[in-house]
Structure 1
C-alpha cells in the first residue's frame, strides 16, 4: 500500500512539474501591459502613416493620371491604386487594433496581425514595382510613345486630350520631333494642318497650319514625359518601401502579445 501511495504521489508531482504556471501581466520585460502600451502608440503612428500613403496615392490618381492613357502598360496606375488600398486600410485597421487591445480578444488580435501583413505586402509591392518601372519606363516609352501619338490622335478622345495637354504643358510638339505629325492618321485626314494646334506657342484655331519656328515648338515631348514619369515613380517607390517598414513593427509586437495573453492571469 505504501509503495502504491508513493507511486501515485510521484505521478502527481511529475504532472505538476509539467504544467507551466500562468504569469502576471506585468511579469518579464515585455509584459502584456507594456506591449499594449506600445501597440496603442503604434496604432496612432500607423493611422497617420496610412493617411499619408492614402494622400500620395489619391494625389497620383487625381492629378498625375492625366497622361496614364499614353503609357503602354497599366503598371503606373496599378502602383497608385495599390498605395490607395494600403493607405485606406489604416483607419479600420487602427480601430480593429484598439478594440483587440481593449478587450484582449485573441481573435481580433490575430485578424489585426494578418491585415498588418497584408498592408506590408501592398506597400512593399507598390514600392518595389515603382522602383522596377522607373528603370523600365524609358525603353517602353521610346518604343511605343511615337506610335501612340501618330496612330490614335483625333481617333481616341482620351489620348487626344492627353497629347494636347502634354504639348501645351511641356511646350513641345510630337513625341520625337514635330515633323512626325506629317506621318499621322490625323494629318492624312486634313493635310492642310501640319501639327495640332496644341503645338503652337500661342494657341488659336488652326494655328497648326504653319510650322515655322516662330509659331510652334520644335522640341519633341518624349524626354520631358520620361523625366516627368520617372521623377514621380521615385516618389512612389520611396513612399511604398519607406512606409512598409511601419506595419512590420506592429506585426511583431502583436504576435508577441497574442502569444502572451494566453499565459497570463489578471
Structure 2
C-alpha cells in the first residue's frame, strides 16, 4: 500500500505531533510518523508579527485621520483663510515658503495625514494577502514616512521662534486695525479674546497706545493674548511630540518586522516541509498521550537512531 494513500485516508490522518523536524531526503518514514499538517504552534510567531503590524496600522490610521482633519480645517476655515490673506497677502502671493508658518503648516498636516492613511491601507493589504510585492512596497513607504515625519518635526522646531514672532506681529496688527481695518480683523480678534479670555497682544494697554477703547470682548483681567496662546501652543506641541514620537517608534518596529517577514518568505519559497517524530520514544509517548496504542512497524529500528534535523525537500 502506498504510504501517502495510507496516511491520507487512514487511522493517523489527524495526528498533530508536538515536536517535529524536517525529514532526510534519503528516508521516508512509516505513515504513523509523519504528517503534512504543521503543528498549531508553528505560525505563532508569524501571527504575532501580523497582529503587531495591524496594531501599528490602526495607530497610523487614527493619527493620520486626526492630522488630516486638522490640516483641512486650517486650510479651509473661512475666517483663518481670510485673515491670512488680508494680513500676509504679499507674502502668500509672492513665494510659498515665505508665507506664515501656520499657512505652510496646514499643507504639511494634510500631506502627512494622507500619507499615514495610505501607508496603513497598503500595510493591511500586504499582511492579509501575504504578497511579497505589497510587503516590499509597504516597507519602502514606511521608510519614506519615517523620514517625512522626522523632517516635519525638525521643521517645526526650527520655526518655533518664527511662530512666536508671527503671532506677536499678527496680534499687534489686529489691535492697530481693530476699528479702522477690515471686518475680518475685528472678528478674528474678538474670537481669540473670547476663546482664550485675553485682551490685545500684551494686555489692555495695547489699545491705549493707539488711543482706542478696549472692546467688550476683552477679559477684565487684561491678560495678553500672546501669553495665553503661547501656553496653549506649548501644550499642543508637547502632546504632538508624544503622539508622533510613539508613531516613529511604531514605524521603526513595523519596518523591522516587515523586512523579517519579507526575507523569510523569500527563503521559504517553493519549499514544503513534512513533519515527523524525531524518535520512536517520542512517537510512543505521543500516541499514549492521545489514548491510542502504538503500532509496530518494521522500520521502527530506523526511526530509533534518527535525530531531529533542519532540512527541507523541494516539492
Q: Same fold (TM over 0.5)?
A: yes
Answer 1 or 2: which has greater helix percent.
Answer: 1
2:124 equivalent to 1:120 = no
User: Is the Cα contact below 8 Å between 1:46 and 1:90 reproduced in 2?
Assistant: no
Q: Are the aligned partners of 2:64 and 2:114 in contact in 1 as well (CA < 8 Å)?
A: yes
1:198 match: secondary structure: coil
- Tell whether 2:137 aligns with 1:111: yes
Q: Deviation of residue 84 (structure 1)?
A: 5.1
Task: Give 5+ residue unaligned stretches, structure 1.
Answer: 1-30, 188-192, 202-215
The verdict on how the C-alpha distance between 1:35 and 1:77 changes in structure 2, with shifts beyond 3 A counting, is: farther
Aligned residues: 211
In the superposition, the TM-score normalised over structure 2's length comes to: 0.53
Over 3 Å counting, the alpha-carbon distance change for 1:122 and 1:111 in structure 2 is: same
The change in CA–CA distance for 1:78 and 1:241 in structure 2 (over 3 A counts) is farther
Q: Secondary structure at the match of 2:56?
A: helix
Q: What secondary structure is seen at the aligned counterpart in 2 of 1:219?
A: coil
| Aligned partner of residue 136 in structure 2, secondary structure | helix
Contact 1:96–1:112 (CA under 8 A) maintained in structure 2: yes
| Cα RMSD (Å) | 3.7
**What is the distance in 1 between the residues matched to 2:231 and 2:145?**
29
1:95-127 Cα offsets, whole Å, 9 max, x none, are: 433433344432211111111122222333334
Q: Shift of the alpha carbon at 1:48?
A: 2.3
2:215 to 184, 187, 196: 196
* 2:234 corresponding residue in structure 1: 230
Q: Where in structure 2 are there 5+ consecutive unaligned residues? A: 1-41, 89-98, 273-315
Identify the residue that residue 207 of structure 2 maps to in structure 1: 181
TM-score (norm 1): 0.61
Q: Confirm or deny that 1:148 pairs with 2:152.
A: no
**Looking at CA atoms only, which structure, 1 or 2, has the larger radius of gyration?**
2
Q: Which residue of 1 aligns with 2:58?
A: 48
Distance 1:159 1:240, change over 3 A: farther
Are the structure 2 counterparts of residues 107 and 152 from structure 1 closer, same or farther at C-alpha, using a change threshold of 3 Å?
farther
